[in-house]
Structure 1
Amino acid sequence: MKTMAMTKELAALVDASPLAITADELTFMLDHIGDPDGKLRDDVIYTLFGRGFFEGGFTADQRAEVAREVLRRQDLWRDIDRPGTDAVFGRTFTALVGTLILNYDAAHAFLTDDQRRTYMQWAVTYLQREKDYRGYVSGHGWAHAVGHGADFLGSAVQHPQFLHTLIPDVQKSVVTVLRRMTSAFLDDEEQRLAAALVVGLTAHNISLREWTDWLAVEHAYLWHNYAADSLPSYYRLSAWLRIMQNAYFLLPVDDPARQPCLAFINDYFIQMGFRQ
């Protein structure tokens, strides 16, 4: 009954203006970041976290509490080696809350140096460990680990205090997702991955040389491992094409980082026999 009453109480706050969240309400929100009830988790809890950070719903102490508690609870890693369970919702929505935290910190620095480093390290390694690639889960709503993980990755790589030493992990995160694929993505995962890379480029945290060199290596690897009778190898190459297409159109029209994307897009169509 207490859970039902608190759920109703929080649902009434979703459109409240001005928004104020009590200590008990915040504790419940933290306890239910990954609730299996998609409506509660997505439409209420996550919405209130977003409004709390970016519409003044949290006090400074509450923002600090959220940042501390997310790190303390470690839900980003809970049961990460057991794909297919409901724990995925705790992981992926912790990634989304981590995105809010890093985005807010980028504009209004409030994390400690240690917290900021930890959130960035989490953001650039989460996709290397996540194996549950489900998108929409019937009866529970969105898991969408790759999409949410890409958002978290992007929030780190565009941060003004991003650590350049983490660039290899940014690249490894995308590579790991591609090489772990066994079926086609269905829920725009590729454009979320592309967006994460593009914000790093436009923030000048990924250099043109790093971008160009990495694309060349990954493009060559995927083609070297492509076989016409291997569906997984085709899905990986097709996902790579869509990442390149999305990156090309997301980048500013005068950005030289578009050129290697276009070259690899053209090469795909030539090698697949669509053009000379």
Structure 2
Amino acid sequence: MVTEKLLKEKLMKLKENNYILTEEENAYDLAIEMLKNIGSVDPVLRDDLIYSILSKWMINDVFTTEQLQHLLFICIDENHLHYKLGEINTDSIFTRSFSILITAVILYKENETSFLTSKDIENVKEKIFQYAIQENDIRGYDEEKGWAHSIAHLADCLDELAKNHQLNQTDLQMMLEIICTRIMESKNVFTCEEDERMVTAVCAIIERNLLSEEDIKNWIVRFKDYKKTDDYNKNYNIKINSKHFLRSLYFRLKPVEKEKYSMILKALDELNTY
């Protein structure tokens, strides 16, 4: 197994060479090594090199569809997306958070070329939903170790998943449930634009036109109910996160949608206590 130091040196040279491999090197083999180190606490290796190189190669069709499929299955396995799922404030978050981000890139390619079977999509969807519900570490940026950003990365993945035409009305409703739960976070107030990233996913869901206007309206009004605990500070966090999200959503909607979902403004009025 290649050490982190050797891998970092190799990837830095690769980046300097405009991401072009030598004849002796194999992109897929190197991708496997990168995924083994996707949870590195070195932000340069994890984010600037591994994520940047993998995403660039995936988007530029460096891998075959069979290789992409295999890389996807690695990303969502127990050693990546579900690695120590449930832990809080440990380094395992970097493995999970960057695995979901790479998963989003592969789903982007799937939406372009449809190389996955319906069984594959069902499996991926279930793994993502399970992760979305059970992730407890919601840190944004760590001064020493860089981005964790689990909720934002999840949002990016939900955005791509929502665009996949194998997902049905029930799936999209489940995604809205997940988004509502994740946004109405009581532990702390999001400060790293998690609300904006989640709004992108919501817009993708709305644009599928599978959910009724009534479905969306009923979902929006749920954000008014922020008194979910007996703890004032936790309820306050829920309220602030809900307000930030609804504001972001309103300004991202198209003019005709603003008219349809004007109850967002009413919900915001009810959330304002001053």
Give the shorter-chain TM-score range: 0.7 to 0.9
Task: Judge which range, 101-110 or 2-11, deviates more.
Answer: 2-11
Flag structure 2 segments of 5+ consecutive residues without an equivalent: none
Q: 1:161 aligns with which of 148, 166, 175?
A: 166
- In the TM superposition, 1:212-231 aligns within 5 A as 212-219=217-224, 221-222=225-226, 224-225=227-228, 230-231=232-233
| 1:70 corresponds to | 75
Alignment deviations for residues 28-53 of structure 1 (CA, whole Å, 9 cap, x no partner): 11211222211111011111121111
Task: Judge which range, 86-95 or 257-266, deviates more.
Answer: 257-266
Alignment deviations for residues 42-91 of structure 1 (CA, whole Å, 9 cap, x no partner): 01111112111112232334323212322445521111122111111111
Determine whether 1:14 maps to 2:15: yes
Q: Which residue type is aligned with residue 267 of structure 1?
A: E
Determine whether 1:40 maps to 2:22: no
| 1:233 corresponds to | 235
3-state SS of paired residue (2:14)? coil
Determine whether 1:248 maps to 2:250: yes
C-alpha distance 250-31 of structure 1, shift in aligned 2 (>3 A): same
C-alpha distance 18-37 of structure 1, shift in aligned 2 (>3 A): closer
- Tell whether the 8 Å contact from 1:162 to 1:205 is kept in structure 2 after alignment: no
| 1:28 corresponds to | 33
When the two chains are superposed, the root-mean-square deviation of aligned CA atoms in Å is 2.4
TM-score by length of 1: 0.87
- In the TM superposition, 1:199-218 aligns within 5 A as 199-218=204-223
C-alpha distance 122-209 of structure 1, shift in aligned 2 (>3 A): farther
Identity among equivalent pairs (%): 22
- Tell whether the 8 Å contact from 1:158 to 1:205 is kept in structure 2 after alignment: no
- Tell whether the 8 Å contact from 1:151 to 1:196 is kept in structure 2 after alignment: yes
Flag structure 1 segments of 5+ consecutive residues without an equivalent: none
- In the TM superposition, 1:47-62 aligns within 5 A as 47-62=52-67
C-alpha distance 257-115 of structure 1, shift in aligned 2 (>3 A): farther
Q: 1:152 aligns with which of 132, 137, 157?
A: 157
C-alpha distance 88-237 of structure 1, shift in aligned 2 (>3 A): same
CA distance in 2, matches of 1:123, 1:90: 14
C-alpha distance 203-19 of structure 1, shift in aligned 2 (>3 A): farther
Q: Which residue type is aligned with residue 76 of structure 1?
A: L
C-alpha distance 265-226 of structure 1, shift in aligned 2 (>3 A): farther
C-alpha distance 11-115 of structure 1, shift in aligned 2 (>3 A): farther
Q: Which residue type is aligned with residue 117 of structure 1?
A: E
CA distance in 2, matches of 1:146, 1:69: 21
Task: Judge which range, 91-100 or 27-36, deviates more.
Answer: 27-36
Task: Judge which range, 168-177 or 209-218, deviates more.
Answer: 168-177
CA distance in 1, matches of 2:255, 2:244: 18
C-alpha distance 18-59 of structure 1, shift in aligned 2 (>3 A): farther
Q: Which residue type is aligned with residue 80 of structure 1?
A: L
1:213 offset after TM fit, Å? 1.0
CA distance in 2, matches of 1:249, 1:16: 42
Aligned residues: 268
TM-score by length of 2: 0.87
Q: 2:181 aligns with which of 176, 185, 189?
A: 176
| 1:117 corresponds to | 122
3-state SS of paired residue (1:254)? helix
